[in-house]
């Protein structure tokens, strides 16, 4: 049988090739824009009709992705968004960017991936390239996707092509994006890897080929576990340093002057976002199949998970020192997005902190220039707050202010000047009078 690869590569080169992106969220939408901007026709698929409607109207629902990029793509006539999954067969390549959360019992919840795989299988045709981008445990591509597709009577590497290529998107990062970062990729066969590489080379500077989808899946998990474990390490050292009267921030900055062998990680109020608190546990689950416990992951999870409680403990201590109790105190949380300069609240430690404060009788409020309303979270159904404007009066009437997320839009001088007590989880208020600032 003649290989389809040379012909498909030629079509990629000529942009006579349609990209379908499934799941138009924080990962999928930037991929749509990037492929569109380098000249491909792009079809976006999502089960959420509201997202499709907004994209069709030229709106962006991701704050750091400007709407003008969507508008100019739509005007080019090369982009369409749809909820009609029968159209999956129109795409030459399908990128799967759907969520991979944990279940209530903290096991992998692959329902979105398997639903998508079933939908693709229904319209799979000769020549299609399928790229799973969602973060998941090693084995997902070959154990969950491949059998569904081959059950259609087509053979991977000959009739259709299948790869795993993890996404390194870091929302809000102004230094690195899809266009500037190498992309790891592992194909089910050499032919799959070759076609995947040909496609992604059009949008990233380098494609890093690994031997298998499993190796690519593990690479993404290593990157995120590395962060989770190192953050836990500095969080533990932060608590110890606090007891010993040592400033952990000073220590980290000093250690970071070593020109080799040390990479600085910083403590904080706990992990947030869709990735670092969740992805490591995909591996923990899979490791059980191999009779292994992932002890570093579990320990890091335990320490990082305890951070909101520790921060609230520091608020209690600070108020006590002023003859006040948390019960009845007015407390303002600054920043509910899980990291600076974005609007994403998923798994944000601020949600846990607000809930813990409330459980102990505090009157809680928050302020966040990127999040006008804080509500509707899976684990915090009772939270429904509207952001307070950060005025002199707001600050002066609080018994304590907790800096959880250090957005650049926060006026540090202004807050430091007007707040009565600041519990600072990010070392943002260094240099302010120590009687006002409590590091946590
Ligand atoms: N957000 C990040 O920074 C980031 C970075 C790297 C990797 N990832 C990984 O990428 C994947 C997607 O994450 P995200 O942050 O973009 O999620 P998201 O929630 O922002 O977007 C997912 C989109 O998929 C849609 N969707 C759900 N089920 C679907 C289905 N069956 N068919 C079509 N669309 C469906 C949702 O409506 C939503 O629009 C996850 O595996 C995540 O771990 C995320």
**Which atom in ligand 1 lies closest to the alpha carbon of residue 133?**
10
Contact 426, 252 (CB under 8 A): no
pLDDT tens-digit readout, 179-217: 999 999 999 999 999 999 999 999 999 999 999 999 999
The residue to mutate among 64, 274, 346, 377, having the most atoms of ligand 1 within 8 angstroms of its beta carbon, is 274
Strands 183-187, 161-164: pairing is antiparallel
Residue 65: pLDDT band (50, 70, 90) is confident
In the predicted structure, residue 17 carries a pLDDT above the cut 90: yes
From ligand 1's centre to the CA of 100, what distance in Å? 7
Q: Is the pLDDT of residue 40 over 90?
A: yes
Nearest protein Cα to ligand 1, atom 43: 135
Q: What's the CA-to-centroid distance between 383 and ligand 1, angstroms? A: 23
pLDDT at residue 2 above 80? Answer: no
Q: Is the pLDDT of residue 376 over 80?
A: no
Q: Pocket around ligand 1: residues whose beta carbon is below 6 Å from it? A: 22-28, 45-48, 51, 97-100, 112, 115-116, 134-135, 167, 169, 171, 274-275
User: Which residue's alpha carbon is at the smallest distance from atom 23 of ligand 1?
Assistant: 23
Residue 383 structure tokens: 């939270």
CA of 98 to the centre of ligand 1 (A): 4
Residue whose C-alpha is closest to residue 137's, from 225, 54, 233: 225
Q: Which backbone phi and psi does 80 adopt, to 5 degrees?
A: -140, 140
Tell me the CA–centroid distance for residue 168 and ligand 1, in Å: 13
Query: Is 131 one of the catalytic residues?
Result: no
Cα distances (angstroms) measured from residue 170 to each of 51, 162, 173, 181, 429: 21, 25, 6, 11, 26
Interior/surface letters 222-247, b for 16+ CB within 10 angstroms, e for the rest: ebbbebbbebbbbbbbbbebbeeeee
- Give the atom of ligand 1 at the shortest distance from the alpha carbon of 28: 16
Ligand 1, atom 28: nearest CA belongs to which residue? Answer: 112
Reported pTM = 0.95
Q: How many CB atoms lie within 10 A of CB 121?
A: 18
**157 and 192 Cβ atoms separated by less than 8 Å:** yes
Indicate which atom in ligand 1 lies nearest the CA of residue 171: 3
pLDDT band at 1 (very low <50, low <70, confident <90, very high): low
Percent of the chain topping pLDDT 70: 100
Token readout for 252 is 């980290």
Closest residue CA from atom 11 of ligand 1: 134
pLDDT on residue 172 = 81
Report pLDDT for 171: 82
* Domains of the chain from N-terminus onward: 5-211 (3.40.50.720), 212-305 (3.40.50.720), 307-439 (3.40.50.720)
131, 192, 275, 374: the catalytic one is: 275
Q: What confidence tens digit (pLDDT) does each residue in 71-99 have? A: 888 888 999 999 999 999 999 999 999 99
167 CA from centroid of ligand 1 (Å): 11
Non-local (6+) Cβ contacts of 4 within 8 A are 126, 127, 158, 159
Asked which of 55-59, 246-250, 316-320, 350-354 is least confident by mean pLDDT, the reply is 55-59
If you search the block for the tokens 């018994």, which residue do you land on?
A: 399
């Amino acid at each position: 049988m003649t290989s389809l690869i040379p012909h498909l590569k030629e079509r990629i080169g000529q942009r006579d090739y349609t990209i379908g992106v499934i799941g138009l969220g924080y990962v999928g939408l930037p991929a749509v824009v990037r492929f569109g901007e380098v000249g491909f026709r792009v079809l976006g698929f999502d089960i959420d009709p509201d997202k499709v409607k907004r994209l069709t109207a030229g709106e962006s629902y991701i704050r750091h992705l400007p709407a003008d990029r969507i508008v100019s793509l739509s005007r080019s006539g090369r982009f369409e968004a749809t909820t009609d999954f029968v159209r999956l067969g129109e795409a030459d390549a399908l990128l799967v960017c759907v969520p991979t959360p944990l279940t209530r019992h903290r096991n992998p919840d692959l329902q979105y991936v398997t639903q998508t795989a079933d939908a693709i299988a229904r319209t799979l045709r000769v020549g299609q390239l399928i790229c799973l981008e969602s973060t998941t445990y090693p084995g997902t591509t070959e154990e969950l996707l491949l059998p569904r597709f081959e059950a259609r009577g087509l053979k991977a590497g000959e009739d259709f092509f299948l790869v795993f290529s993890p996404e390194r998107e870091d929302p809000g990062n102004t230094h690195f994006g899809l266009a500037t970062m190498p992309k790891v990729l592992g194909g089910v066969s050499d032919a799959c890897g070759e076609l995947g590489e040909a496609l992604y080379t059009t949008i990233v500077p380098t494609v890093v080929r690994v031997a298998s989808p499993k190796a690519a899946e593990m690479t993404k998990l290593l990157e995120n576990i590395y962060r989770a474990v190192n953050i836990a390490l500095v969080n533990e050292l932060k608590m110890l340093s606090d007891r010993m009267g040592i400033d952990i921030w000073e220590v980290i900055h000093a250690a970071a002057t070593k020109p080799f062998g040390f990479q600085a990680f910083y403590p904080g109020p706990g992990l947030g976002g869709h990735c670092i608190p969740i992805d490591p546990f995909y591996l923990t689950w899979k490791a059980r199949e191999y009779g292994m416990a992932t002890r570093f992951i579990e320990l890091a999870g335990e320490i990082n998970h305890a951070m909101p409680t520790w921060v609230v403990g520091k608020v209690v201590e600070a108020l006590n020192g002023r003859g006040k109790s948390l019960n009845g105190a007015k407390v303002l949380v600054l920043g509910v997005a899980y990291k600076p300069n974005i609007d994403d609240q998923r798994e944000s430690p601020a949600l846990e902190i607000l809930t813990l404060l409330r459980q102990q009788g505090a009157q809680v409020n928050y302020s966040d220039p990127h999040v006008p309303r804080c509500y509707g979270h899976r684990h915090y159904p009772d939270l429904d707050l509207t952001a307070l404007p950060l005025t002199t009066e707001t600050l002066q009437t609080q018994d304590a202010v907790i800096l959880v997320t250090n957005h650049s839009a926060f006026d540090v001088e202004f807050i430091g000047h007007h707040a009565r007590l600041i519990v600072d989880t990010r070392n943002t208020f260094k240099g302010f009078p120590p009687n006002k600032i409590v590091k946590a």
